Structure 1
Amino acid sequence: MDGIWRMAGETDVRFAVENMYPWRYRDREMLAYAPDWDVTKEDYRHFTIDLSHASTARTDALRMIDRMGDRLGHIHLADGKGSAKDEHLVPGRGDQPCAEVLAGLAARGFDGHVVIEVNTRRAMSAAEREADLAEALAFTRLHLSSSAIEVPRG
């Protein structure tokens, strides 16, 4: 952590530490990441939220993002269904609040990076892989656009 803070003071590059997840086998949990899979327990200058990792950790991604606050610098956009394995599904195909996260970022003028990080290994063809990636990109553009933000009418 000290090295990350030192490097952050030497450059404009954001060193954003990513949330992970506990490893599970049957009814046991193992700590595989040090000091913890929940990076918000530490004082990092910048964070990366990976929504698939949040799903695997079975943690509330919106609350984690709230804890990250203005130190959130990078998004790994993917979905998940809470499996013990990291899924990286196309956004909208799991139970993560992908649309809400993107709309919230747009509403607050997020200036970090959003990376679509989906697993396409199960695609049966190049066309299916391209269709999955196109769907992920369209989802991201739709929900990250300022026009997708609902403005309360008074």
Structure 2
Amino acid sequence: MSTSCVYPLDTRRAFELAAEAGYDGVEVMVTQHRATQDAPTLLALSAEFGLDILSIHAPVLTRTAFVWGRDHREKLRRSAALAAAVGASTVVVHPPFRWQRRYAKAFVDLVAELSEEHGLEVAVENMACFSSRGLTVQPFAFGYDPASLDCAALTLDFSHAALAGEDSLEIATRFGSRLRHVHLCDGTAPSPRGAFLDEHLLPGAGDQPVAEVLELLRTTEWSGSIVAEVHLPSSGGDALRLDQLRASLAFAKRAFASTAERPKESPDAGDHPYRLA
């Protein structure tokens, strides 16, 4: 689970929910909340709740436009430094937008530099383009698919794949061994005249082959991190949030169960080489 899953709730509550739901660790998205930017605070929460910080998500969203300044090169540098300080093995980052020319020019080299400098994986995430009434808008400098980039680590997000009209199993196959990080969720393809929503549904609630991708990872003894990144309901309170977080966790454990039979009433898959956040 990541702090972005419970946004705008505070960071402490994210750790509390993750621990109560039974996760191995958390992914921290850097936001305006100062706690998400501060290594000592995050380490204290990690120790208090017994959860590893598995990954740091760089501040790349519209609502984080002014976090750590406007230079996205510096944002990525600080994200990598924060990850190293809290013991996270991965930084998740979106590819540059087309209008971020200086950032785009430096991006691939910067990803490699930071990976080597801090001994971690900077995993570039798949995104989406948008089409409506025959018009396609491609906002990313290198396109929405990072497979063509000379980057050693990539992130697969099922909701982004759905929004792009892509098949996640094909993406996972295309990424191959460079797939090192998964944002566990689901989504549906947008209708020609429908709204473009980055849905982040519970896994199994959309039309992406989520279980098939996890099965592919299981058969290859994959050892990355699976992060539940689902939109939780704004109403219904923590009981409903916990139910949905636990459902996402159970989905992943069923998919990674080593037996052919995976009964829904017994989601525990035992020891696993991947990590769940």
TM-score of Structure 1 vs Structure 2, range by shorter chain? 0.7 to 0.9
What is the aligned partner in structure 2 of residue 105 from structure 1?
217
What residue identity is the alignment partner of 1:109?
E
What is the aligned partner in structure 2 of residue 20 from structure 1?
127
Count of aligned pairs between the two proteins = 150
Distance 1:148 1:68 in 2: 26
What is the aligned partner in structure 2 of residue 146 from structure 1?
258
Q: Secondary structure at the match of 2:121?
A: coil
Distance 1:132 1:123, change over 3 A: farther
- TM, length-normalised to structure 2: 0.51
What is the aligned partner in structure 2 of residue 31 from structure 1?
138
Matched, 1:96 2:203: no
| Candidates 97, 104, 121, aligned match of 2:233 | 121
- Structure 1 runs of 4+ aligned residues shifted over 3 Å read 24-27, 121-125
**55-64 vs 4-13, greater mean Cα deviation:** 4-13
- 8 Å CA contact 1:8–1:45 kept in 2: the answer is no
Listed as ranges, the gaps of 5+ residues in structure 1 are: none
Shift in Å at residue 133 of structure 1? 1.5
| Candidates 240, 245, 259, aligned match of 1:133 | 245
Distance 2:261 2:218 in 1: 7
Q: Secondary structure at the match of 1:4?
A: helix
What residue identity is the alignment partner of 1:37?
Y
| Candidates 48, 55, 59, aligned match of 2:155 | 48
1:71-98, Cα deviation, whole Å (9 max, x unpaired): 1110001000113211000001011111
Q: CA RMSD in A?
A: 1.9
Matched, 1:66 2:173: yes
- TM, length-normalised to structure 1: 0.88
Distance 1:94 1:26 in 2: 24
What is the aligned partner in structure 1 of residue 186 from structure 2?
79
> Share of identical aligned residues, percent?
37
Q: Secondary structure at the match of 1:55?
A: helix
Q: Secondary structure at the match of 2:255?
A: helix
**22-31 vs 87-96, greater mean Cα deviation:** 22-31
- 8 Å CA contact 1:103–1:149 kept in 2: the answer is no
Listed as ranges, the gaps of 5+ residues in structure 2 are: 1-107, 191-195, 263-277
Distance 1:114 1:54 in 2: 16
Distance 1:110 1:123, change over 3 A: farther
**67-76 vs 122-131, greater mean Cα deviation:** 122-131
**Greater RCO, 1 or 2 (C-alpha within 8 Å, sep 6+):** 1
Distance 1:24 1:122, change over 3 A: farther
